[in-house]
Chain A
Amino acid sequence: MNKTKRNTCRLVFPAKSVNEGFARAAVAAFAALADPTVEELADLKTAVSEAVTNAVVHGYRDYPGDVTLDLALLEGNLLRVKVRDKGVGIADVKLARQALYTTAGDERSGLGFTVMESFCDKVKVASRPGRGTTVTLEKQIRGRA
């Protein structure tokens, strides 16, 4: 379903962990145009943080590269965030989305996708091994109205 875009923004940055915070802040600034509640903004920041961290930790674990964020505010105050990397990709997306599944060791909880799903209305994952991964997050901004 194609919806008219009211506003868009593209950000490209290197997959460095320091940019996880930058990505959250940038998405929050863009989302502010839709007049979200504090809670909606926090949900979005958390979900974006998870998706960008996945790109940094998993996508580009073997070589450096860029993360692209495509932000769109659609009709009806639907916010869409695409987080794209050209990294290693995910062989089994269904498995990767399972709660507590991780390939990154003891300090990673394996909750990234679970958190994204719980804080967004829709989470789509498209991935090809060797080509990269695109995570699309959608959140309906209801605001204070």
Chain B
Amino acid sequence: MQITREQDALTVFLTGELDHHTARAMRQAADDALRSQKPDVLRLDFSGVTFMDSSGVGLIMGRYKLASSLGAALTVRGLTKRDERIVKMSGLAKLVRFED
């Protein structure tokens, strides 16, 4: 997992398997960076994720709430077709911007 800052956007590159067990560390790192850097945009990049279950949706939902409370927008990119299918079961598509 890697976090980069580019102008007003903070990008979190998630890697490996994303489940209930691994989400904890990802969530903590993303939230620490979000709170300390206060970007205008938080971008979650899933292109390095090799497996995801609905914990990925929980991760996006939780970051959406925190980002919103800090005045930051959330964008999501790099989801595979199947993972996007899981995310869209949640109705998150209405709240979060998806980039290719």
Contact = CB atoms under 8 A, between A and B. Distances in A.
Contacts of B90: 100, 109, 111
Contact of A46 (B20, B53, B91): B53
A contacts with B: majority SS: helix
Interface residues of A, number: 25
Given A99-B89, A114-B89, A20 B54 contact: no
Contact of A115 (B17, B27, B53, B61): B53
B35 interface: no
B contacts with A: majority SS: helix
Give the bracket for the number of chain B residues in contact with chain A. Answer: 20 to 34
Given A17-B21, A107-B23, A111-B90, A49 B58 contact: no
A113 to B, nearest CB: 9
A110 to B, nearest CB: 8
